[in-house]
A and B are shown apart, each in its own frame.
Chain A
Amino acid sequence: MTWQRRHVLATDDWSREEIEHVLETTGAMVEVLGRPIRRTPALRGRTVILFFAEASTRTRVSFELAAKALSADVTNITASGSSVEKGETLLDTVRTLTALGGDVIVMRHPASGAPYFVAERTDAAVINAGDGWHAHPTQGLLDAYTLRDALGDLAGRRIVIVGDIAHSRVARSDIDALVPLGATVTLSGPPTLIPSAWRCGMTPRGTTFEPDLDRALDGADAVIALRLQKERQHAGLLPSIREYAHTWGLSEERVARMRPDAPVLHPGPMNEGVEITASVAHGARSLIETQVTNGVAVRMALLYLLVAGAGAPPEQKE
């Protein structure tokens, strides 16, 4: 297929072909990363700006390694707090980023939808590295890649996502990447942390809601545990972290309800002892470190497709 997209903002409107094309390209990048010299010249002379308006180490470093492995120049811009607090609006930032002349803006932002705001106002390609509760498309794609690598064809497979679904951009992007590949997704977690519409029978296509985690895990093909933000308890959404860990945490006993060897994923960083026990996190089923490695490859694939893989390659900038 010919790559047509200018931006990666969310994968909610992507076709199966587009997702598979990214996963295939990711496979090629995994091969590059396995070489003694982990570098290709594909993006030489191009500039990737990493604009992170929210704390993140692993995603930012993952993008940085991906861009460098493609020989791109990388610039970091960090900002903290909301635009109102820092006195500079997102519009000001977009103007600055555009003036800097990057080819790609990789951005993380606390406000859902912020990458759309930027994409409408810049000539650069925009990759969403996480916006509010909305989307984290590279995480969804890397989880799809990791699961397909472990399980083969995802058609007919059932993946459980457990935890704070309501506030999770990872859950939304996992659904958007897995369902088009033929998987079904079972959502589980406390009632206050599942969007109300999804608890009332209006779950997204390809998904179901099962509050009882044991039942959700019975015979499942894989599970993705989400990070629990401890401030949810202070917001009155949880009676206690202890109860949460007891009811929706992944233990050895629980994960054994799945099919033999069914893998365990987590986007990180983990609260060991809350949403996952240390023995599961570091046990035989865990693909958590593999996810980190695959993350670099997925991000390489997207950077490559956006800059070099489009139907009409962008003009070389001086």
Chain B
Amino acid sequence: MLGDLKRDAEKRGLLTAPGFIDLHAHLREPGFEESETIATGSRAALAGGFTTICAMPNTEPAIDSPGLVAELIARGEAARAARVLPIAAITRGRNGKELADLVELAAAGAVAFSDDGSPVADARLFRNALEYARAAGRPILEHPQDLTLSAGGVMHEGVVSARLGLPGMPAAAEESAVARDLALAKLTGGRLHLSHLSTAGAVELVRHAKAGGLAVSAEVTPHHLALTDEWVAGSRALAWEDGGPRVAPFHTATKVNPPLRTAADVRACWAGLMDGTIDAIATDHAPHASIRKDVEYQEAAFGISVFETAIPLLLAGVAAGWGTWERVVGALTAGPARVLGIELPKNDLVVIDPKVAWTPTATSLRSLGKNTPLLGRSLTGRVVAAVVDGELRHELALA
């Protein structure tokens, strides 16, 4: 069946790829079901081509016990959409104070550990986490950010934040954390994976560490490969575009952490992706109910709903010549599989129509999170079918 679908798709000029693996998604269940559930999130993921998604543990309660890991796996299976793999918290309750039972969490099915959104500030505790993760045979997924430097910031610190009078988060907040994390990975031999790199300096630090033989990996998001901090000021030009239509500034759909950076940073992220410094493209899909976004910019929640618009953004970057489709597919499949130490699922497949134009709207998005600055914008390229374990679980009827 998989073979037939693939042949048929290729005959019609469509692209096919193994199922995409997302290392970084927020499904919000349990605790924030008004923003997303495992069922809606895993269906949205599938509609975006992701047949395997790793769920971040910043839920309420945080995923920090074997029972919660098992429950998450069960709910994911019940949804019968994308395969859901649980990431467990590094510290109990994500409090940054004491380690969760990492070995038992791994045995229960946690594929990695992360306190995403609340980086482990205590360097000694983070060192111990890396040592323990090594014993548990799982990677640590770290959100690299020095919270004392980024405190109060709501966007990238630079020319645009200066103009808008918004408090900024300097690139150095990410880079100093990356430098610390790399030093501790070297010290411990623990498997470190750096989440959502967004600055040219951070990419360079990882490149240097890899050249020195360190077994570290890193990811980048589709939005950090396409959008810039000018979007906060109302630009809607992708990093490789000039001019174009503008909207009112201060749209909270552009508020995300790490923040949208400059076009030079976007370029550096593509360069890091192309030369293998960056191993994976991960969505950091962060859906929010409108009540958390329909407020002043400074009070809005951080996060973009990404699943369903990831592929068209990446296709646009490829069309602009900033990267190749082969490399993008690698960073969505073999790259993340290597980070997790798993085989690529053999009976997964996605089919993409690279030419079709479509416009994401609040009603067309399957995710409960409508918080994307791409809402209402015409995009080119869409996932039309997705197969999980040999079962066609998503099919889009195109007019």
B295 touches A134 (CB 8 A): no
A112 adjacent to chain B (CB < 8 Å): yes
Smallest distance from the beta carbon of B254 to chain A beta carbons, Å?
11
Assuming the A-B contacts A83-B295, A89-B295, A196-B170, are A113 and B163 also in contact, with contact meaning beta carbons closer than 8 angstroms in the complex? no
A109 adjacent to chain B (CB < 8 Å): yes
Assuming the A-B contacts A196-B157, A196-B170, A197-B158, are A112 and B164 also in contact, with contact meaning beta carbons closer than 8 angstroms in the complex? yes
Residues of B within 8 A of A179 (CB): none
Assuming the A-B contacts A82-B299, A195-B162, A197-B158, are A113 and B294 also in contact, with contact meaning beta carbons closer than 8 angstroms in the complex? no
A120 adjacent to chain B (CB < 8 Å): yes
B296 touches A197 (CB 8 A): no
Main secondary structure of the interface of B (DSSP, over half): loop
B159 adjacent to chain A (CB < 8 Å): yes
B165 adjacent to chain A (CB < 8 Å): yes
B248 touches A112 (CB 8 A): no
Residues of A within 8 A of B295 (CB): 83, 89-91, 117
Partner of A112, one of B159, B170, B297: B297
Partner of A134, one of B158, B165, B170, B294: B165
CA distance A114 to B297 in the complex (A): 8
Assuming the A-B contacts A117-B250, A197-B158, are A112 and B298 also in contact, with contact meaning beta carbons closer than 8 angstroms in the complex? yes
B166 touches A117 (CB 8 A): no
Assuming the A-B contacts A83-B295, A196-B170, are A116 and B248 also in contact, with contact meaning beta carbons closer than 8 angstroms in the complex? yes
A113 touches B250 (CB 8 A): yes
CA distance A117 to B296 in the complex (A): 7
Give the interface size class of chain B.
20 to 34
A116 touches B249 (CB 8 A): yes
A312 adjacent to chain B (CB < 8 Å): no
Residues of A within 8 A of B371 (CB): none
Residues of B within 8 A of A198 (CB): 162
A-B contact pairs, 20 of them (CB 8 A): A83-B295, A89-B294, A90-B296, A91-B294, A109-B296, A111-B298, A112-B164, A112-B297, A113-B166, A114-B296, A117-B295, A120-B248, A132-B166, A133-B166, A133-B167, A134-B165, A134-B166, A166-B162, A196-B157, A197-B162
CA distance A12 to B294 in the complex (A): 24
CA distance A140 to B157 in the complex (A): 24
B161 adjacent to chain A (CB < 8 Å): yes
Residues of B within 8 A of A120 (CB): 248
Nearest residue, chain B, Cβ from A173? B165
B165 touches A169 (CB 8 A): yes
Residues of B within 8 A of A112 (CB): 164-166, 250, 297-298
